[in-house]
Structure 1
Amino acid sequence: MTDMTVHKPTPFLPQEELEVYHREADLLATIKGLEAGHLVLITDFYHSGSVLLKEVQRHLNTTLPKKTFKEQRDYRAAYHTLSNRIMIEIKAHQLAVKKAPAIGWFEKLYPQTSDFLLTFPQVQGLNSAWQWYENGISIPVLRNKIHPYYGVYFPTRFEHVALFDQWLKRYSGAKKTAIDVGVGSGILALQLVKYGFQKVFGTDTNPNAIIGLKESMGETKLSRKIELDVGSLFGKWSKPTELIVFNPPWLPETRESEYLDEAIYYDKALFPAFFKAAKDILLPDGKLVLIFSNLAQISGLIKTNPIEEELAQSGRFQLERCYKKNVKRASEKTKRDAHWRKTEEVELWVLTHA
């Protein structure tokens, strides 16, 4: 299908004998082994891995304080280190423990390697991703479900795609081409096709996004309407277009975002580079649409958002209109600071050449 290299957990082959963990094993001794740098292999039931992870959390809760920001970061780092020393074996593309889920990614992502080890958190992530991929996710603004590929960001809230859908309904400009920067799971590109755009060019720095979308489109009409490229910002697309759509990350990068998805966190160079490139590729009467949020502002991470800074400082673009939509209240189960939701809004910024 493609010669792109898919991003996936690196398979592990042990160079030394691993400690084993099963239901009857001494939990405290196992955790002490993890702290000493030993790798521990789950050998009986899949659930034993979950039990051991909970015990690691309980152990850290009693040994590490979590009051200050630094203490919380140290706690997360310690948990990340210990949990990723818990291993599980894959044999013939199946988990080699009892009552384990069937995870199709093993065969799909590792066709040349049938026997290997992964960390238990990696396998948990693969399992969750396989359920989303197999079952699909219903998106309110699309007729068909999306089936996100492993390692590709997809939204769990949909106010921003609903806001974009409302804007597209009223859009009366030319619909020859559009560029979706950071196409991800393809929702915005599919919306553009839904509203009659003849050709949509999508880019993403994550090869899994491109691989997954190409696979899901196959040889259908969509594959002729949506053209994809792995690359930052506009990738290989240089021909001027009448519409550019960008749903960038909503939070600025911080020291603790080292291991986190660049679909969620942006570095300080992203927006200046994007606006500079967008000016050269947007047709004179074209529109630049950015889907953003006030989350970073209301949580105190930034004072003014990067779109406002661009409009105030560069002279490249002017504001046509900014649409806003309130975000629904957080679930009672969420661990995020739900009080932010009272004032959280998603934003759709429409810019034109200054």
Structure 2
Amino acid sequence: MADHPILSWNADGRARTARWYTAGGTPPPRRVVPADDRMCADIAYRLVCEGTAVLWQGDYHGGRQLLAALGRRIDRRATRRGRRPAAPAGGRATGPADAFHRHRQARGHRARVLGMLLVPLEPGPRGPAVPLRRAPDVGEAAIEAYGPVTEPGAVALRELLGALGAHEWRRKGVDIPALGARVHPHYGVFSPVRGEYVDLVAEAPLPAKSLAFDVGTGTGVLAAVLARRGVERVVATDTDPRALACARDNVDRLGLADQVEVVEGNLFPPGRAPLVVCNPPWLPAKPTSALEHAVYDPGGGMLHGFLAGLAAHLEPGGEGWLVLSDLAEHLGLRGRGELHAAIEAAGLRVAARHDTRPRHRKAADPSDPLHAARAAEVTSLWRLTAAR
């Protein structure tokens, strides 16, 4: 139980302790007060904003209603602040990068505050359970997120709801038209709901069908697409244990275990291949959760690591497929010429490029704070070869 620290608080004049269950490594709150349906939302909001967690012991659906009420109060406060004219530091005009950082800061604040509403989680005869009236069956979802629950503890209600949603994604799967099948994402592994990058890999002309590397495989969806296209052997790598288990599960489900080998590895497997594919995180920023590692790449480390090592892992005449959104450029997080300069510095050249527009809802939502950048976004498959 070393991965689950102790949460401490006082109730009825007695010291209480419980295990702190979290999938994201969030430290346990320092102050905790028990609460039930008699606590009003305004008092709960004041407590959580001050850094005191509320351990809900009332009706489960009452807890969900309180969580929604806290969210409304956060949003109202953010709206009031948004109406005030901003005074840029030093008198300089703000740009898309500033808007992006403010947006992430607001989302981080919202997640921290809502993460202070807790519910109990304890072992049960049929798996982990929330011992509250009208609570749903959380057993499988809790195990997928936290592992075995062998001692009574507490968990953030918001995170538990996320685990329940992720369990449904895993159970039902995500339809991938390019596969004619579903991929089942595990908890903490980015779901391939943005189909445009999958379609790019499904349609680009293959340089060879003998061998391919899929670097940073995640759910294994791109490895599966390559195998279904007739690539005889695909070696898929990842460093995240959840992603490795997820990719192996999907490969088995799709009947591709004879073609696809999933191995633990940082970027490239040993050797060379005529095709090396990588869909790195799009934005050079720091992730704040396990799931965000698929979107945020501090300093563009994975992108630059892939480019720097690609030539040494390509067979003569082989291609490296870099699948990347240009959202970072539109947000001012990466210079317009930075990617081209990195490609050239790595001893590579662009043989061809295939582009597509995003189809997700935020790209067409003018109320989204980053709408202008999202509306201009293009996702590209860069076909790279070693410079001669």
- AA matched with 1:280: A
Q: Hey, what's the Cα distance between the residues in 1 that align with 2:377 and 2:102?
A: 27
**1:153 Cα deviation from its structure 2 partner:** 0.6
Would the aligned equivalents of 1:11 and 1:118 in 2 still touch at CA under 8 Å? no
Residue 240 (structure 1) aligned with residue 254 (structure 2)? no
Cα offsets for 1:22-53 (capped at 9, x unmatched) = 33323222233323433211223333333223
Q: 2:34 aligns with which of 13, 20, 25?
A: 20
- Equivalent residue, structure 1, for 2:15: none
Q: Hey, what's the Cα distance between the residues in 2 that align with 1:72 and 1:272?
A: 26
- Equivalent residue, structure 1, for 2:355: 324
Structure 2 counterpart SS, 1:201: strand
Q: Hey, what's the Cα distance between the residues in 2 that align with 1:110 and 1:329?
A: 32
Q: Hey, what's the Cα distance between the residues in 2 that align with 1:220 and 1:162?
A: 18
Change (3 A) 1:35 1:336: closer
Mean Cα deviation higher: 55-64 or 278-287: 55-64
Would the aligned equivalents of 1:12 and 1:116 in 2 still touch at CA under 8 Å? no
Mean Cα deviation higher: 333-342 or 152-161: 333-342
CA RMSD of aligned residues (A): 2.7
- Equivalent residue, structure 2, for 1:211: 245
**1:249 Cα deviation from its structure 2 partner:** 1.1
**1:79 Cα deviation from its structure 2 partner:** 3.0
Q: Hey, what's the Cα distance between the residues in 2 that align with 1:54 and 1:351?
A: 48
Q: Hey, what's the Cα distance between the residues in 1 that align with 2:377 and 2:110?
A: 30
**1:85 Cα deviation from its structure 2 partner:** 2.0
- AA matched with 1:157: R
TM-score (norm 2): 0.78
Structure 2 counterparts to residues 243-282 of structure 1, below 5 A? 243-253=275-285, 257-259=287-289, 261-268=292-299, 269-282=301-314
Change (3 A) 1:28 1:112: closer
Residue 81 (structure 1) aligned with residue 95 (structure 2)? no
Residue 95 (structure 1) aligned with residue 144 (structure 2)? no
- Equivalent residue, structure 2, for 1:5: none
Change (3 A) 1:342 1:29: closer
Which structure 1 residue ranges, 5 or more long, are not aligned? 1-9
Q: Hey, what's the Cα distance between the residues in 2 that align with 1:200 and 1:117?
A: 42
Change (3 A) 1:335 1:50: farther
Would the aligned equivalents of 1:19 and 1:40 in 2 still touch at CA under 8 Å? yes
Q: 1:56 aligns with which of 51, 70, 83?
A: 70
Would the aligned equivalents of 2:56 and 2:119 in 1 still touch at CA under 8 Å? yes
Q: 1:145 aligns with which of 159, 170, 182?
A: 182
Q: 2:376 aligns with which of 322, 337, 343?
A: 343
Would the aligned equivalents of 1:11 and 1:116 in 2 still touch at CA under 8 Å? no
Would the aligned equivalents of 1:330 and 1:338 in 2 still touch at CA under 8 Å? no
Cα offsets for 1:41-79 (capped at 9, x unmatched) = 122333333322333334445656346557666544443
- Equivalent residue, structure 1, for 2:93: none
Q: Hey, what's the Cα distance between the residues in 2 that align with 1:63 and 1:271?
A: 38
Structure 2 counterparts to residues 26-37 of structure 1, below 5 A? 26-37=40-51
**1:278 Cα deviation from its structure 2 partner:** 1.5
Change (3 A) 1:307 1:50: same
- Equivalent residue, structure 2, for 1:158: 195
Cα offsets for 1:108-153 (capped at 9, x unmatched) = 4423526321111210210110110011111121122111011001
Q: Hey, what's the Cα distance between the residues in 2 that align with 1:330 and 1:107?
A: 31
Would the aligned equivalents of 2:283 and 2:327 in 1 still touch at CA under 8 Å? yes
Mean Cα deviation higher: 97-106 or 329-338: 329-338
Residue 42 (structure 1) aligned with residue 79 (structure 2)? no
Q: Hey, what's the Cα distance between the residues in 2 that align with 1:61 and 1:107?
A: 32
- Equivalent residue, structure 1, for 2:21: none
Would the aligned equivalents of 2:174 and 2:192 in 1 still touch at CA under 8 Å? no
Percent of aligned pairs sharing the same letter: 25
Structure 2 counterpart SS, 1:24: coil
Structure 1 counterpart SS, 2:317: strand
- AA matched with 1:276: A
Which structure 2 residue ranges, 5 or more long, are not aligned? 11-31, 87-98
Cα offsets for 1:300-335 (capped at 9, x unmatched) = 3323265312234x1611111011112237366674
- AA matched with 1:144: A
Structure 2 counterparts to residues 97-112 of structure 1, below 5 A? 97-103=132-138, 104-108=140-144, 109-111=146-148
Change (3 A) 1:221 1:77: closer
Would the aligned equivalents of 1:175 and 1:197 in 2 still touch at CA under 8 Å? yes
Change (3 A) 1:77 1:322: closer
Would the aligned equivalents of 1:11 and 1:117 in 2 still touch at CA under 8 Å? no
Q: Hey, what's the Cα distance between the residues in 1 that align with 2:133 and 2:36?
A: 11
TM-score (norm 1): 0.84
Would the aligned equivalents of 2:178 and 2:199 in 1 still touch at CA under 8 Å? yes
Q: Hey, what's the Cα distance between the residues in 2 that align with 1:32 and 1:342?
A: 38
Q: Hey, what's the Cα distance between the residues in 1 that align with 2:178 and 2:156?
A: 37
Change (3 A) 1:134 1:197: same
- AA matched with 2:177: P
Would the aligned equivalents of 2:284 and 2:298 in 1 still touch at CA under 8 Å? yes
Would the aligned equivalents of 2:210 and 2:232 in 1 still touch at CA under 8 Å? yes
